[in-house]
Amino acid sequence: MNSMLDLQDLTKTYAGPNGAVPALLRFSLTVQPGEFVSVQGPSGCGKTSLLLAAGGLLQPDSGRVVVDGVELYALSAAARARVRATKIGFVFQQFHLIPYLSVLDNVLCPSLAADLPDAPAQARGLLDRFGLSHRLHHVPAQLSTGERQRTALARALLHSPRLLLADEPTGNLDSDNGAAVLAHLASYAQNGGAVLLVTHDPRVAEYASRTVRMITANKELQQKAGPQ
């Protein structure tokens, strides 16, 4: 089976007042279709940098990012954007919904960057599946926190991405809403998608097929990946 995401020896550093600050140090990870991989670790260990690099949004200093057989950073910025628009879905802790658009129009946003036949029907189907059919014409300010995250998840799934990247998607949710979002992510993986989720939430391990732990120690980033 070909991997959906293959991260090979990623290194990323940022400039700091006292010199370079490492975020990723020779980090490697493979995610297969049908796999839900949770990445856990303390703040500052590089989880968000890892996710952004995997999604083609942050070029590493060295290493390779291969999504569905395509090496992202060997592409032009425009070609990389097309890969994101067709193969990758993003779910963020802060939702990033457009405040003046309705729930339905927020979910339809990915159709502006990709040719999606029957996008309105697909969006309505996703919102019905996520229990939001009665909220189609509400704006985000009229939604509960859990409803906003489910709207963001529906938006991420509109174009049927092969890979779903999630950054702390349960961080702002209560226990019940967090469990609902995790169940949807697990279902997506069970149906053949690949999920990479970074989190502090220990509940995620109950839904993930594999957990990777990243640690920071001795003033130098040390990263270990493996099944728990």
Q: pLDDT (tens digit, 9 = 90+) per residue, 123-179?
A: 999 999 889 999 999 999 999 999 999 999 999 999 889 999 999 888 888 888 888
Structure tokens at 93: 């802790």
CB 179 within 8 Å of CB 20 = no
Question: What pLDDT shows up at residue 1?
Answer: 61
Domain 5-223 has CATH 3.40.50.300: yes
Residue 99, CA atoms < 13 Å, CB-side half-sphere: 2
CB of 5 closer than 8 Å to CB of 30 = yes
Q: For residues 46 and 151, give the distance between their C-alpha atoms in angstroms, rounded to a whole number.
A: 27
Confidence of residue 77 (pLDDT cuts 50, 70, 90): very high
Instruction: Count the neighbouring beta carbons within 10 Å of the beta carbon of residue 11.
Output: 16
The mean pLDDT of the chain is: 88
More confidently predicted of 215 and 52: 52
Q: At what angle do helices 119-129 and 145-157 cross, to 10 degrees?
A: 140
* Helix (H), strand (E) counts: the chain: 6, 10
Q: How far apart are CA 43 and CA 93, in angstroms?
A: 15
What is the Cα–Cα distance from 64 to 116, expressed in whole angstroms? 29
Interstrand relation of 5-16 and 62-67 (parallel, antiparallel or unpaired): antiparallel
H-state helical runs in the chain: 47-54, 77-87, 103-108, 119-129, 145-157, 175-190
| Tens-place pLDDT, residues 28-46 | 999 999 999 999 988 878 8
Q: What percent of the chain has pLDDT above 70?
A: 93
Which residues are paired to 89 by β-bridges? 164
- At 36 the three-state DSSP class reads strand
Q: Which residue has the higher pLDDT, 17 or 198?
A: 198
